[in-house]
Each structure stands twice: as C-alpha cells, then as structure tokens.
Amino acid sequence: MDHSKLLIVMVGLPASGKSTLSSKIEQGLAAEDIATKVFNNGDVRREMIKDRDTSIAEFYDPHNPEALALRESIARINMEKARDYLAGPGQVAVLDAANVSRKRRAIIKEFLGQYPIFFVECISQDPELLKASISRKATLPEFAHMCREDATTCFMHRIDYYRSIYQPLTEEDNFVVLDTLDNRILRERVQAVVPYYPLVRDLIVSDWVRNLYVVRHGETQDNVENRIGGDSDLTGKGQAQAQNLAGYFRDLPLPYVFTSTKRRTMQMTQALCAGRTDCRVIQLADLNEIDAGICEGMTYDQIAQTMPAIHEARTRDKYNYVYPEGEGYVTLRERVERGIKKALYLSGNSEHIMIVGHQAVNRMILSHFLYRRPEDVPYIFIPQDRYYHIVSTQNRKVFEMVKFQK
C-alpha cells in the first residue's frame, strides 16, 4: 500500500454539505503544497449525459435498473479518474458522491485499495438548513426547465431515494462522522496510519472563511431617536449609506448576501444586489437583532427614567444582563453562532460572502472570529459607514475595518 497517497471518500445524503467540505479540504491541503483534487460524480454525470434529463427523481431510484447501471458507470469513471490522479503526481484524491451503501463503499475499496482510504460521513440535522440548502440546489442549471416548487419537490424525492438505501459508517476501518453545521465530530475511528490525517482532521472541524464582509444596516429612524430594536425603515441618510455600500462593492462578485428578517437589513441590500445576476439574498432569523423584551422600542433615557432597576442592572454587567422577556448578549451568542455557521454552510465555501446585520449581532459575529473578553463585547465599535473584512483559514488570518462611505 502506498502510504504517501490518500483517498478521501465522502458519504452522505444530497444537501448534507459534502461538496462544501470537499472544497475546503482541497483548498486547505493545496495551501500546504499537498497536491489535492476533488472528483465529483455529479460533474461526470452532467458531462456524460447532456441529452438526458437526470434532474427527475426517478433517475435516482435504486429499483430503476437502467438508471442504476448508468449511475454505476458514472461512479466507475470517477473512480478511474481518481486512480489515475493518484498514480501520477496527485497526493490526495477526494471522491465527492453520496456513497451511502456499503456495497458502493466496498466497490471503492476493491477498486482503489492500493491506497489508504479515509471515509468522511456528513450529517445535517437542522430542518431550516436542509430547507435552505435544497432551495439553493433547486437553482442549479439542471433544474432550469422546472419551476422552483417542482425542482424543490424533485430534489426532496431524490433525497428520499438515497435515504432508502442509506447505511451509516460502522464497519469501515478509518472514518469520521461529522455534523456539518457545527463542524463537530460525532463518531471517529482511526485504526491505521492515515496520511495527512492531523491536517485533514483540523480542516474538517474548523470554520473556513475566505472573505467575509460584515456590514451593519444604515441609519434608521429608531437610530436617530436612540430606540432599541424595532423594525423601522432606513432614513434618507441610511439609503445613501446603502448606495455607498453598493458602489464600493460594485466590481466584486457577491454570490451570497445574508441578512436578518428585519426591513432595515433587507433595504441595505437592495442597491447592493440591484442588476446583479450573481447575488442571492438569504434571510436568517438567527441574525435578528437582540430582543429587548419589555424594553423593545424604548429609548435608553426612557428606560433609565421608568425602569431604573433595569437600567442600573444592565449598566453594571451589560454582557450578562438579560432583558425581561427578552435576550442579552450572553443568550444571543448561541443563535448568532448558529447563524454564522448556516451562512458559511449555505454559501458553499464561496470566495466572497457578506452578512448585513445589526449592532449587537455584528459584535457577536466579530467576537466569534477575534477573541474578546465577554465584558468587552458590548462595546465593539460597529459603525454604519464601514465594514469588517474577515479571512480565517489555516494559513491566513485577516481582520480589518474598512470605510466604504466617501
């Protein structure tokens, strides 16, 4: 067995994050000068079958003998490509496909058994994330002839077919089972020397951000009146800030922009995405501003005058204070981190993504990537005419604030 090479085999249902993770592994290893390439069954399928509709769910029916034979042929071609790559200068090949049956995995082991094999099973258990991921898949070119609803239904049926033959990793010698939203290893077995394993393991459990732009919405009427929370519109100045943001990023591809469900963040993106064909806006409730509970919509002066006990308690410990019937920074952290992970997951490791959020939310996002003492988080500077640019990979860290308003 050639222990200078490694075959990584992805396992998991469609829309479970396999391709995103494969891309991260490829980029991470390449950054360490380890020749790595992803071999995706879907790419082979789309290249081979241009005149046949493989978007219909029945193509993935395990009881459809004609389609099954064709899919087996596609898998074999992809394995041959990976084998040829490893036989040459390639050091790591990643087989990106469902590989959900033990039979398929046994074929892979027989065909490529001269190399160490490491299986990575991807699991995504968040219903909202699955729904958003399927919605994204439904926009692929292979579904262009369908309406969005039909494409979504078709893709869900495809998942059901794969689920009907799903056999989790249990008998394989070397594997990890990964929660792809939290980058958390659920099960792990490594019974042999796996080349590059320490680096691969670090990659699969780490957030991977190539270029993240964290922006606060522009000025609102509630900002002018110093009111907490609410759902007010941008002011004229806020609209001008939105235009300045759009002008600054005009020439930069932005395939994904994530916002809260509040009007002010959506309005901030309108000029940014106007006329773009590469820009998709996804709303995430996890990115909504802190809920001030009974103080929602009040000014800080009103709180000090009518609820002095609340004002005093929050002044003493702003991070740990929780508004009655609402939230605090300490309780906000969990959902904001969930929102960050959803954004990174759904963006599919895109080179550039943006989050348009709120003051408290953006403070939590920044503290996720840059260590700050909890008591200092509520005081991180979050202006409305600048953005934070974040890069966080294994070999590069960038954290900078940039002014976009002229």
Q: Does residue 37 sit in helix, strand or coil? A: strand
Q: Is 264 marked active-site?
A: yes
Contacts 24+ apart (CB under 8 A), 246-253: 246/271, 246/272, 246/274, 248/404, 249/213, 249/354, 249/404, 252/352, 253/278, 253/351, 253/352
Decide: helix, strand or coil at residue 38.
strand
User: Which among 40, 78, 223, 362 is annotated as catalytic?
Assistant: 223
Residue 312 burial by Cβ neighbours in a 10 Å radius (0-12, 13-18, 19+):
exposed
- Contact criterion met (CB below 8 Å) for 54 and 73: no
Helix (H) or strand (E) holding 28: helix 18-30
Catalytic-role residue among 121, 142, 289, 327: 289
CA-closest candidate to residue 12, choices 114, 95, 98, 110: 98
Closest CA to 18 of 121, 138, 87: 121
Active site residue 289: yes
C-alpha of 263 from chain center: 23
**What is the C-alpha to C-alpha distance for residues 28 and 147, in angstroms, rounded to an integer?**
37
Q: 3-class DSSP state for residue 327?
A: coil
Query: Which is the catalytic residue, given 216, 227, 280, 363?
Result: 216
Instruction: Please confirm, yes or no, whether 63 is among the known catalytic residues.
Output: no
Whether residue 358 lies in the annotated active site: yes
CA 219 to chain centre: 28
CB 213 within 8 A of CB 359: no
From residue 268, give the alpha-carbon distance in Å to each of 136, 155, 254.
Answer: 22, 32, 14
Marked catalytic residue, from 71, 158, 280, 358? 358
Contact 101, 119 (CB under 8 A): no
DSSP 253-313: --SEEEE-SSHHHHHHHHHHHTT-SS-EEEE-GGGSPPP-GGGTT-BHHHHHHH-HHHHHH
CB 89 within 8 Å of CB 2? no
The single-letter code of the amino acid at 68 is L
| Active-site annotation holder among 217, 338, 363, 368 | 217
> Which are the catalytic amino acids?
216-217, 223, 264, 289, 358
